[in-house]
Amino acid sequence: MSTVQDSSRAGAPTGVALPIGPRTAAVLVLASLAGLMMLCWPLLLEAQPGERVEPPFLFLFLLPLVVVVVLAEMGEGGMDSRVLAVLGVLSAVNAVMRGLGAGTAGIELVFFLLVLGGRVFGAGFGFVLGCTSLFASALLTAGVGPWLPFQMICSAWVGMGAGLLPRRVGGRAEIAMLVAYAVVASYLFGLLMNLSFWPFALGIVVPGHEGSLSYVAGAPVLDNAHRFLVYTLLTSTGGWDTGRAVTTGIAIVVLGPAILTTLRRAARRAVVRPG
C-alpha cells in the first residue's frame, strides 16, 4: 500500500517533499567533498615556487560518476518515476531560461528556479537539479567544456543549500529568507567559479595594486587566498556576481510565491511513500 505525502496547505511549508535517508546523505557529503577537493586543491598543494602545476583531471572524470551514484541512491530512497518527471521538466525549463540570459552582464535566469525547486523537494533533489540543469543547458547552448563540471557542482550546492533552509518559515518571511539565501549563493557561486580557473590565469596585474594577483605555487595558503579574494573583488563581485544576485532576488520576489504554490501542489501528487 502507498500513501501520498500531504501538507495542510499548498503554500505552507510543513516539511521536505522528498526527504533523504542516511545513506543518500552520506553520498551527498562525499560528492560535496569531492567537489571541494576539485576546486580547492591549488591552495593546499605543496610545490616549489615556479614549479609547473598540473590540475588533477581525475576529478573532472569522477564527477559524472558521482552524480549517477547520487541519482541511484535517491531512487532507492523514494524518487520514483513521477519525481523524475518533475526533475526532467524543471531541468529542461532551467536549460531554456539559462540560454535566454546566457550570463550577459550577470543576468542569470536559472538560479531562482533552482532555489525554489530545492526549497520544495529538499536538499537531495536540489543537488541533482543543479547538476542536470547545467548539463542540459550546456548541451543546448554548446557550452560543454572543462568549466562544465565546476558549474555543475557549484549549482548543485546552490540547490542543496536551498533544501537545507529552515522548514517552518512561510509567507513573506519565507520569500525574504529565499531572497537573502539567493543573494549569498550568487556571490559564492561566482567566487567558487573564479577559483576553478584562477590558478591558471597567469600574469594578472591590476593597476594601482602592487604585485601580481596570480596564483603562486608553493606560496603560503593565506597569501594565495588573499590574492584570490582581491582578484575576485576586482573582477567579478561588483559586476557579474551582483547582476546574478539582483536578477535572482527580483525573480524570487515577483514569481516566487506562485511557483512555490505550483511546485508544492506537484509535490503532493508526485511524492509517494511506501506505507
Residue (of 35, 142, 46) closest to 99 by Cα position: 142
CB-based contact 116:256 (threshold 8 Å): yes
CB-based contact 136:92 (threshold 8 Å): yes
- Enter the pTM of the model: 0.78
The residue with cell 520569500 is 175
Our count of domains for the chain comes to 1
Residue 74 CA to residue 128 CA, distance in Å, equals: 9
Class of residue 82 by CB neighbours under 10 A (exposed 0-12, middle 13-18, buried 19+): middle
User: Using alpha carbons only, how large is the chain's radius of gyration in Å?
Assistant: 20
Q: Which pLDDT tens digits describe the chain residue by residue (275 residues)?
A: 333 344 334 444 545 556 677 777 777 787 788 778 777 776 666 545 555 555 555 556 666 666 666 666 566 555 667 777 888 888 888 888 876 765 555 577 788 899 999 999 888 888 888 888 888 888 877 667 777 878 888 888 999 999 899 988 888 999 999 999 999 999 999 888 888 777 776 555 555 555 677 777 667 778 878 888 888 888 778 777 888 889 899 999 999 999 999 988 888 776 544 33
Domain that residue 86 falls in: 2-274
CB-based contact 159:129 (threshold 8 Å): yes
